[in-house]
Every structure is written in structure tokens, then in C-alpha cells.
Amino acid sequence: MKDRKMSEVEEPKSPCIRQCCLDEMDICLGCFRSLNEIIDWHSSTIIEKNKILIACRQRRELSQKSRF
């Protein structure tokens, strides 16, 4: 496996699925980003975007568990 240079690291895609609706905690019910994460997405670094994506997955999982 060869090492990747930083310039070769792929930019994470936005998790937006165009179903924007914020809950009472300002979390989007479509992509599970916070309002601040949505606003900051385009100026975030690759590392920050990956952290946001991890937080989105965790929120989605918690949301699904709380429904059952």
C-alpha cells in the first residue's frame, strides 16, 4: 500500500440529502448535522468534515435506537 499525500486525500461529500428540517435542538432530521455544522461545512477542513460525519452517524444511530 503506498502512502497518500495530503493533496490526494479525497474531500468528504456533504451528508445533505435535501430533507432539511431542524428539531428542537437545531439538528437536521435529514442529515443529522447541527445548524452550526451545516453553516460551517464549506469552510471546514477535511479533518473537521470527517469529525462532523462521525457525529452525524452517531446522532442517526441514537435517533434510530430511541424510536424502538
Q: What is the reported pTM?
A: 0.82
pLDDT digits over 52-65, tens only? 999 999 999 999 98
**3 within a domain of the structure (yes/no):** no
**33 within a domain of the structure (yes/no):** yes
**7 within a domain of the structure (yes/no):** no
48 is written with which cell numbers?
Answer: 473537521
54 is written with which cell numbers?
Answer: 462521525
Residue keyed to cell 445533505: 16
**6 within a domain of the structure (yes/no):** no
Q: Is the dihedral of CA 45, 14, 68, 22 positive or negative?
A: positive
pLDDT digits over 8-45, tens only? 789 999 999 999 999 999 999 999 999 999 999 999 99
